[in-house]
Amino acid sequence: MSQILVVDDEIGIRELLSEILADEGHTVQLAENAARARALRGAERPDLVLLDIWMPDTDGITLLKEWAANGQLTMPVVMMSGHGTIETAVEATRIGAIDFLEKPIALQKLLATVKRALRNGGSQPQAGLTLLSLGRSAVLADLRKRLTQIAALSMPVLLRGERGVMPELFARYLHQPNTPWIAAGAALADAPQDLLARAANGLIFVEELAALTRAQQKNLAFILGKQEKTKTRVVSFTAEEPARLAGELGFDAALLARLSELSLVLPALREHAEDIPDIAAILLAQLVEARHCPPRHFSTAALNALRQFRWPRNLEDLQGAVKNLAITALEEEIGAADVERVSAQFHPAAATRVPLPLELPLREAREAFERAYFEQLLAREGGSIARVAEKSGLERTHLYRKLKALGITTGKREE
């Protein structure tokens, strides 16, 4: 059967739950406090955790947050409490708990909840970065408070920031548990009525407004007009200045004004660099937990080197560097030399310097320059045709023709 971890400071409850679950054929481990629960979870992954909220050393909500932050919330967790409130249950669900049991726990309720949690446990998503795992800096603490304040509102929210800040992490903090989450983009090419039906009572996230076509903008405007009726929230992001987005890039100014009813600026990674060691350690722990690499850990010098580096594309670059280090390091301990080796490729100056072909005829020299220009731009923008078109100032159809003429192969990535 299944392995279940019961975490409760009351010995009577631990023994009672252990007896009932063992009679059902489950293997049961018991923890009297959060410290013991951490040790058992660190040693192996249980199939289910029954976690008490009120414990003397660390409360269950805090322990749940820890597991969510460090990539260990890969099993279903059911919270237990004799003094539960709706607010506590909602918070636990937002963090990642899948159910809530009130004490005294009725036998049939317990068995039904355990059965349902184990059945759905296989679909428990692999943990990734969350806003809770981004660090403890004052910058992020203040932003989390602001997001919490507006989470229950229905008005559109525009997130702004530099490329690579991972706006989806912040948008998901506004997403109500157990409601639809729709990543727009390509979905906005569908009939807007169908998209609204799928997103009803949930959240639609637009990753980059500058990438939307005119038709997609029109569909988004339609959705905004119906969002109150369908109780659908729209959260969008752009790395562009609003004036440039509506002017030079031709985004619908009226639509932008509606999307900007409430606007928040997301911090660049350098603005909370003190969080980098914690974030890097969490990313590495998640890779080890998911068995993407052998057991690894950072040396103190390596963490300092990661903190001091200015990551051009913020969290995206840091995440890529940690994955590279996890896979290519030769020793269990990742050192400062490893960080220097990998971080060099994320430095803007690491791009290959292309000598000017001054000895060629003008036409050939121009083609050589254009080929080098677009190859480096494609590499820097991760193959995104939309961003290359935006950076180069070319319309996409013209850009495709230009790339084909220069013999440059693309993955035709539109997002």
pLDDT digits (tens, 9 = 90+) for 165-224: 999 999 999 998 778 999 887 788 878 888 888 889 999 999 999 999 999 999 999 999
pLDDT tens digits, residue range 339-382?
999 988 887 554 444 556 677 788 888 888 888 888 778 766 76
C-alpha to C-alpha distance for 216 and 5, rounded to whole angstroms:
48
The whole model's pTM is what?
Answer: 0.66
C-alpha to C-alpha distance for 42 and 29, rounded to whole angstroms:
13
- Separate counts of helices (H) and strands (E) for the chain: 18, 12
Does the structure show a pLDDT above 80 at 49?
yes
pLDDT tens digits, residue range 249-302?
999 999 999 999 999 999 999 999 999 999 999 899 888 877 889 999 999 999
**What is the pLDDT at residue 410?**
64
- Report if residue 178 sits inside a domain: yes
| Same-domain check for residues 137 and 225 | yes
Residues β-bridged to residue 204: 182, 234
**What is the pLDDT at residue 46?**
92
| Same-domain check for residues 11 and 84 | yes
pLDDT tens digits, residue range 309-323?
989 999 999 999 999
Asked which of 267, 301, 322 is the last residue of a domain, the reply is 267
C-alpha to C-alpha distance for 103 and 120, rounded to whole angstroms:
23
In degrees and rounded to multiples of 5, residue 73 shows phi and psi of -90, 60
| Same-domain check for residues 170 and 186 | yes
Does the structure show a pLDDT above 80 at 144?
yes
Q: Which helix (H) or strand (E) holds 224?
A: helix 214-230
- Report if residue 410 sits inside a domain: no
- Report if residue 229 sits inside a domain: yes
**What is the pLDDT at residue 146?**
95
- Report if residue 126 sits inside a domain: no
Here the CATH number for the domain that contains residue 307 is 1.10.8.60
- Report if residue 355 sits inside a domain: no
Spacing of C-alpha 252 from chain mean position: 28
- Report if residue 285 sits inside a domain: yes
| Same-domain check for residues 242 and 139 | yes
**What is the pLDDT at residue 277?**
94
| Same-domain check for residues 248 and 276 | no
C-alpha to C-alpha distance for 220 and 232, rounded to whole angstroms:
12
Here the CATH number for the domain that contains residue 196 is 3.40.50.300
| Same-domain check for residues 142 and 260 | yes
What domain range includes position 387? 362-405
Q: Where do we find the tokens 């993955």?
A: 411
| Contact between 321 and 284 (Cβ < 8 Å) | no
| Same-domain check for residues 101 and 161 | no
Here the CATH number for the domain that contains residue 114 is 3.40.50.2300
What mean pLDDT is reported for the chain? Answer: 87
| Same-domain check for residues 257 and 275 | no
| Span of 47-51, 90-94, 134-138, 231-235 with lowest mean pLDDT | 90-94
- Report if residue 414 sits inside a domain: no
Q: What does the block give as tokens for 293?
A: 């690499």
Q: In Å, what is the CA distance from 109 to each residue of 19, 101, 104?
A: 16, 8, 10
Total domains in the fold of the chain: 4
| Contact between 289 and 69 (Cβ < 8 Å) | no
Nearest to 158 by CA among 146, 167, 149: 167
**One-letter identity of residue 54:** W
The radius of gyration computed from the CA coordinates of the chain, to the nearest angstrom, equals 25
Q: List Cβ neighbours of 311 (8 Å cut-off, separation of 6 or more).
A: 164, 269, 270, 317, 318, 321, 346
Does the structure show a pLDDT above 70 at 127?
no
Asked if residue 104 has a cis previous peptide bond (ω within 30° of 0), the answer is yes
**What is the pLDDT at residue 64?**
92
Asked which of 322, 349, 376 is the last residue of a domain, the reply is 349
C-alpha to C-alpha distance for 135 and 128, rounded to whole angstroms:
14
- Report if residue 412 sits inside a domain: no
| Same-domain check for residues 258 and 274 | no
Say how many C-beta atoms besides its own lie within 10 A of residue 248's C-beta: 12
| Same-domain check for residues 259 and 160 | yes
| Same-domain check for residues 174 and 152 | yes
| Same-domain check for residues 225 and 198 | yes
Asked which of 222, 241, 267 is the last residue of a domain, the reply is 267
Q: Which helix (H) or strand (E) holds 49?
A: strand 48-52
**One-letter identity of residue 15:** E
